[in-house]
Homo-oligomer: A and B are copies of this chain.
Amino acid sequence: MKPERGPVRVALLGCGVVGSEVVRLLNGQAADLAARVGAPLELAGIAVRRPDRVRPGVDPALVTTDAQALVTRDDVDLVVEVIGGIEPARSLLLEAMKTGKSVITANKALLAEDGVTLFAAAREYGADLYYEASVAGAIPLLRPLRESLVGDHVHRVLGIVNGTTNYILDQMDTHGAGFNDALEEAQALGYAEADPTADVEGFDAAAKAAILAQLAFHTPVTAADVHREGITEVTAADVAGAKEMDSVVKLLAICERVPAEDGRNGGRGVSVRVYPAMIPRSHPLASVREAYNAVFVEAESAGPLMFYGAGAGGAPTASAILGDLVAVARNLVGGSRGPVEVTYAELPVLPMGETITRYYVQLDVADRSGVLAAVAEEFARQEVSIQAVRQEGLGEDAQLVVVTHRAPDAALSATVERLRKLDIVREVASVMRVEGEETP
């Protein structure tokens, strides 16, 4: 445990739930961390907005409001950013790398919006840029994709990457609750924020999908490229319909390589999307309950893989940050560098309309002869093939449930639009995509 060099000095930007946990671990595990790094880790300063707030376990002498000065200090080796948001986080990280510091960030919004700028700076200034904590909390996911699977050919990443929405959908599935009741309960228990927009509208999951797709396919993807639908319109009827199909509704982040017709290796492009969808209860993701996260990866040689764990929270996120901190500090002590992102593939991100999906459609229909034929005709008109139809109820309660085969999303949604206009269709009661089948 003899350090072979002076301490590695760490600047921390932000000291909220995650930041204060990072401080606690740096202090509490100091001897272990020093042995693993080969040198002690030492806090050089902590930049906060409200310096007067009481922070148990934090040395007030380290606290500053001048983040800009902190990241450019000569006695700082590494910068950990847990402020979140685009600015000032981006400027501070760029400034840090420009002055020769490696950086660790948990900032998914920034990485998904402008990762390209950060990666370019890391390359230009020879800095390490690690960001395991930005997706799925403590679950080691980015390092496996970035390194373990780097010799493989990833076909698909299918994940539950937002704990709040998984909690809400799980409550709806377990107790038959409606969306609003489940949201209120999630808020009461601290799983959802007072303004839940980022979670329930899928913005958080979309940022993570962009980061995952970029790593999996070595191609630039931003949050704006991600087709995004939240869960606010998921109804108790949708969840009940899924149950009847022996399925469950999950908010999925889906990153898929779309095969080229000529069979060329990279594929025609990638599809990156976030939406609620039905998956069979037999799928490993179906049993992910409460606020847990899990990501299913399908690669050519590796086959199916799944990673499961706590996707958020102060301690799990801090665990991921500490892992990155030790890795970057080891690199510093050993005079080496971690992997640099490569986005050589430059595959196009395909529009949602070209994405191949399956639909579950539940219709309230008039109970008279010819209904099924008329409905089937609309699917056929868009060249959508039907896998199964089930008619339920009689008279006023007559319902038709249609599950399609795989078809372009544009054809499926056009079919649903036309069905809405049919006289014999009183209401399109539920439309839900169906996922979790074999690799396309």
A120 CB to nearest chain B CB (Å): 16
Contact of A308 among B306, B313, B320 (CB under 8 A): B306
Contact of A304 among B302, B310, B339, B340 (CB under 8 A): B310
In angstroms, Cα B342 to Cα A344, docked, is 35
Once A147-B143, A307-B307 are accepted as A-B contacts, the answer to whether A319 and B302 lie under 8 Å apart by CB is yes
Check A320 against B302 for contact (C-beta < 8 Å): yes
Known: A35-B218, A36-B342, A147-B323. 15 other contacts (CB 8 A): A31-B265, A32-B153, A139-B305, A140-B140, A140-B144, A143-B147, A143-B148, A148-B320, A151-B319, A152-B322, A287-B287, A301-B319, A305-B308, A307-B307, A331-B336
In angstroms, Cα B331 to Cα A300, docked, is 24
Contact of A301 among B302, B316, B324, B337 (CB under 8 A): B316
Hey, which chain B residues are within 8 Å of A143, CB to CB? 140, 143-144, 147-148
A138 within 8 A of B: yes
A318 within 8 A of B: yes
A352 within 8 A of B: no
In angstroms, Cα B140 to Cα A305, docked, is 9
A422 within 8 A of B: no
Hey, which chain B residues are within 8 Å of A38, CB to CB? 342
A149 within 8 A of B: yes
Check B21 against A326 for contact (C-beta < 8 Å): no
Hey, which chain B residues are within 8 Å of A32, CB to CB? 153, 218, 265-266, 345
14 A–B pairs (Cβ distance < 8 Å), ordered by A: A25-B151, A29-B151, A33-B151, A138-B302, A140-B148, A151-B322, A151-B323, A152-B323, A284-B287, A284-B308, A303-B313, A305-B309, A307-B308, A334-B336
Interface hub of A148, A149, A340 (most chain B Cβ within 10 A) = A148
* CB-CB contacts below 8 Å: A163-222 with B: 218
Hey, which chain B residues are within 8 Å of A364, CB to CB? none
Once A299-B319, A309-B304 are accepted as A-B contacts, the answer to whether A35 and B344 lie under 8 Å apart by CB is yes
* CB-CB contacts below 8 Å: A108-162 with B: 132, 137-140, 143-144, 147-153
In angstroms, Cα B33 to Cα A21, docked, is 39
Q: Report the nearest B residue to A24, measured CB to CB.
A: B301
A152 CB to nearest chain B CB (Å): 4
**Shortest 6 CB-CB contacts between residues of A and residues of B:** A151-B322, A336-B336, A140-B148, A138-B302, A140-B144, A301-B319
In angstroms, Cα B303 to Cα A334, docked, is 30
In angstroms, Cα B337 to Cα A38, docked, is 14
A12 within 8 A of B: no
Q: Report the nearest B residue to A313, measured CB to CB.
A: B303
Hey, which chain B residues are within 8 Å of A139, CB to CB? 302, 305
A93 within 8 A of B: no
A325 within 8 A of B: yes
A1 within 8 A of B: yes
Once A151-B325, A321-B151, A322-B151 are accepted as A-B contacts, the answer to whether A301 and B21 lie under 8 Å apart by CB is yes
Binary CB contact string for chain A from 265 to 278 against chain B (1 if under 8 A, 0 otherwise): 11000000000000
A57 within 8 A of B: no
Contact of A149 among B301, B319, B325 (CB under 8 A): B319
A315 within 8 A of B: yes
A330 within 8 A of B: yes
Check B336 against A316 for contact (C-beta < 8 Å): no
A429 within 8 A of B: no
A395 within 8 A of B: no
Hey, which chain B residues are within 8 Å of A336, CB to CB? 331, 334-338
A356 within 8 A of B: no
Check B318 against A301 for contact (C-beta < 8 Å): yes
Check A150 against B36 for contact (C-beta < 8 Å): yes
A386 within 8 A of B: no
Once A35-B218, A323-B147 are accepted as A-B contacts, the answer to whether A305 and B29 lie under 8 Å apart by CB is no
* CB-CB contacts below 8 Å: A330-360 with B: 330-331, 334-340, 342, 344-345
A399 CB to nearest chain B CB (Å): 33
